[in-house]
Amino acid sequence: MTDTAVTPSQDRIEAFTDGDPGTVVWHREHLRIADQPAVARAADDDRLLALFVFDPSFYGDRGMACDSRIDFLHDCLHDLDGQYRDVGGDGLTYAHGDPIEVLERFRAAGWDVLAARSPTGRYGLRRDERAREAGVEFVTGDGLVRDREHTRENWNDEVNSWLTNAQYDWDPASVRLDRLDTGVDPETVADEYELRPTKERVPDGGTRAARDQLAEFLGRIGSYPSNISSPTDARDGTSGLSPYLRFGCLSVRQVYQTVVREVPESRSREMFVSRLFWNLHYRQKLADWPGWLDEAVNPELRGFNADEHDPELVAAWKKGRTGFPMVDASIRCLRETGWLNFRMRALGVSAYYHLLQQPWWIGADYYHEHLIDSVAAINYTQWQYQCGLVGKPTLRLYNPIKQVRDQDPDGEFIRRWVPELAGLPDEHLPRPEKTPLSVQSECGVRIGEDYPRPVVEYEAAKERFWERYDAVKPRAAAALADETVADRASLSGGRAAARAIADEYGEPGEPDAGSQATLGGFE
């Protein structure tokens, strides 16, 4: 197998088909067989072949996923193979190469091809458009509203209906579950692309692991509200379901129905269920407009910070060497584990965009590369909301100094990820650069040598950002009066709210509920 090879060959597919084609289920993200709309639909045929195509565009230098996320995906594929075997099939068929070429070969042999529809952008959007042209049918069934101009109208009712409806079901005994042996599997692909997963504490992938994680979480859901904000508490205190939802090992509906069935009404249940709605809400936004991944939703804020681009500041942020300990600890945790709780993700965004004042898309791509749970629809929309690129009056600039006192007062998280500061007394962790030289000498921590001074001065950087942002606020507010922009922004109160903002732009304040949703994934 080579990087450009397409496997299996047309002859191999023709011989396997033997004049008796059926339906191919092309798995991409919905890596399960229960509550899977394409699988349930394909089971109406006499013959079903479950297929996953290893696309070279997601591997090596061309891909935007770290090796650890790909390794998690490969775990999910092994589990999916086992799911088909458990119901009497021979497992999952693997292919390698341009997925459209692979699917066209099956189509040429007479097979129908189905895939569960998912919101996507960039390469995925172009790939799916090519797939449609090749005759692939995309089955809608993920709870999102499509094919109408204004999806915001009645959206909550329609999502509630989907969440409470019966799950997609099918009878494995009613269909012949086939598998084509191609010589391709996760191990051969990992060897081909020299995958080297290095992140620590990455969970096992797959539906079985997802169910175990959900069951374990439900046993401690009562403490969920108190565990969200602190990165130390959140590591084991939140649900841990985000990577499983990202790859569709469980559907949002399966999780929702399990929680509602097994957990009595409570603040904990309400808070967790609200996160499921936000997960669908931001997926809906990408389904409505794929541009979220590439350009600011508010046209007046496109390119904001582009003229400020400083590769050295970007590198300091990526390396966790900004001189702000809570920011640095968060970015290092992200890079080394592929995980970060929602407040620290937001802190990292705010430090990057509001203080270092760097172009948003570089930071968003970095999060997307390293987060095991990164859903493009959530990561990029939430970057835009946190940065302020929607143009709404509510914009939160996180204070990295205050966050130390609020979320890591004993320095446990900082000392874990910024060991250079291990000996520094707690009271100096918020601002190490203010530590007296005598204390530095006594504890063996030299600020400016062992650990950098802040790459920007907090108060000055904050004031400069507000000065620049305030200058464009009136134009951004006026842009929100445009119906297209207002719909994409999903302002509370709809277009009337957009027009009100256009008339009188508010002052910066606390974020609305949308900006509290998890950046990148789900907790």
Each residue's pLDDT tens digit, 262-321: 999 999 999 999 999 999 999 999 999 999 999 999 999 999 999 999 999 999 999 999
CATH number, domain 10-170+183-192: 3.40.50.620
CATH class for the domain made up of 299-516: mainly alpha
Structure tokens at 450: 């062992």
C-alpha distance across the termini of the chain, in Å: 38
Each residue's pLDDT tens digit, 59-116: 988 889 999 999 999 999 999 999 999 999 999 999 999 999 999 999 999 999 999 9
* Residues paired with residue 174 on neighbouring β-strands, in sequence order: none
Find all residues with CB under 8 Å of 360, minimum gap 6, and list them.
Answer: 296, 304, 305, 352, 353, 383, 384, 387, 389
Structure tokens at 249: 């090992």
pLDDT for the residue 392: 81
Flag the least confident range among 38-42, 219-223, 439-443, 505-509: 505-509
Neighbours of 457 (CB within 10 A): 14
What span, in angstroms and rounded, lies between the C-alpha atoms of 485 and 502?
12
Four-way CATH pick for 207-289: 1.10.240.10, 3.40.50.300, 3.40.1000.10, 1.25.40.80: 1.25.40.80
pLDDT for the residue 1: 62
Domain edges within the chain: 10-170+183-192, 207-289, 299-516
Please identify which residue in the block is written with the tokens 């010589």.
183
Q: DSSP label at 451?
A: B
Helices 360-370 and 342-350 meet at what angle, rounded to 10? Answer: 150
Stretch 465-493: mean pLDDT: 87
Please identify which residue in the block is written with the tokens 């004993």.
410
φ, ψ at 447 (rounded to 5°): -75, 130
What span, in angstroms and rounded, lies between the C-alpha atoms of 273 and 279?
10
Structure tokens at 473: 């606020």
180 touches 52 (CB < 8 A): no
85 alpha-carbon distance from chain centroid:
30
Quick check: pTM over 0.85? yes
pLDDT for the residue 149: 60
H helices of 115-174, in order, are 122-133, 155-164
